[in-house]
Amino acid sequence: MHRTLLLGRRLARIPALAVILSLAVMMAATSPLAAQVPGCSTAGFPRTVVDGLGNEILLPEPPQRIFSAVFAMDSILLAIADPDRVVGVTVFSADPSQSAVADKVADHMVRIEHLSPEVVFAAQPDLVLTAFYSNPDAVTQIRNLGLPVYTFTGFNGLLDVLDNVERMGEITGCEAAASAIIEQTYANYGRVAAKIASLPRPTVLSWNTWGNTTGTETTVHDIIQMAGGENLAARHGISGWKEIDVEAIIAMDPEVIITSDGDAFVQKLLNDPVLQSVTAVRTGRVYNLNHAIATDHHIFRAVEELAQHLHPEAFR
């Protein structure tokens, strides 16, 4: 499964990205690159938070037994809150090959693959984090058992990731820690954006082992745009994840091909006799994006990674 997709799609938000960009450039100048701060407090509790579905959840005090049933939320939660406050996460978070917080998954945390009401209930959480796509029967049952449930609904691109970080800060009382991550993300991206702002945009096509490319309304499209490339699939009117033929790649003739399916797939493309006429293959500009599988704020690393591939001269 392609975890990148958990972030979903939708860009049609160029204005919003422009705001990020200008904000980021500003912050690069002003903000110190703050490392992670302890940034949690009990101030402002009890408080009522509103989840992505519009449900109001009353938190009498900062939750101390949080069960995260969403992979993307595990890592945001563990990045800002004390792991002692987390009673359950998804199994994916404990896997270093897909998780940036595997070292923070402690023995006391229950790990689930699917949302199991029995396991969640037995952990006696004081807050359960779910996504809009979590098994609705299981969510209803957990709610009926009297456990507060907070549902995240924003999985549609890079901006939603930062919104989720902010929400997590509000839920946990760790607003300062959340803000630090957001500011650092803007600052990091600001440095990248400043370097590539005026450079020409090479044409980029993303492709994966299933033969799919990513048009507008995908996270990969956001990454290409922000890294200073032009998404060829978008130019050809493709929206979302669509299967395309090898012939279409030859016809589009991208200057750069990117994938998140690993270096073996990169080698396969470079050595594919059918693709030898494609500029990207001829010039050896086929890259694997190591950070594009992230579903949390680490996805922004993929922007920097791609920017370095697209504009090596700017990073020398």
Residues that bind other proteins (CB under 8 A): 1-2, 5-6, 8-9, 53, 91, 110-119, 121-122, 124, 132-133, 135-141, 144-145, 153, 155, 240-243
Buried b (16+ CB within 10 A) or exposed e, 23-60: ebbebbeeeeeeeeeebbeeeeeeeeeebbeeeebebe
Residue pair 141/117 in contact (Cβ under 8 Å)? The answer is yes
Q: In terms of Cα–Cα distance, which of 129, 124, 153, 125 is closest to 139?
A: 129
Identity of the residue, 1 or 264, whose beta carbon is nearer to other proteins in the bound complex: 1
CB of 121 to other proteins, least distance (A): 6
CB atoms within 10 A of CB 150: 24
CB of 117 to other proteins, least distance (A): 5
**What tokens does 269 get?**
């493309």
First-to-last C-alpha distance (Å) of the chain: 35
Amino acid letter at 165? V
Cα distances from 69 to residues 77, 91, 151, 307, in angstroms, run 11, 10, 10, 33
Identity of the residue, 116 or 179, whose beta carbon is nearer to other proteins in the bound complex: 116
Identity of the residue, 44 or 136, whose beta carbon is nearer to other proteins in the bound complex: 136
Identity of the residue, 186 or 207, whose beta carbon is nearer to other proteins in the bound complex: 207
Identity of the residue, 2 or 201, whose beta carbon is nearer to other proteins in the bound complex: 2
For the chain, what's the residue count?
316
Identity of the residue, 124 or 283, whose beta carbon is nearer to other proteins in the bound complex: 124
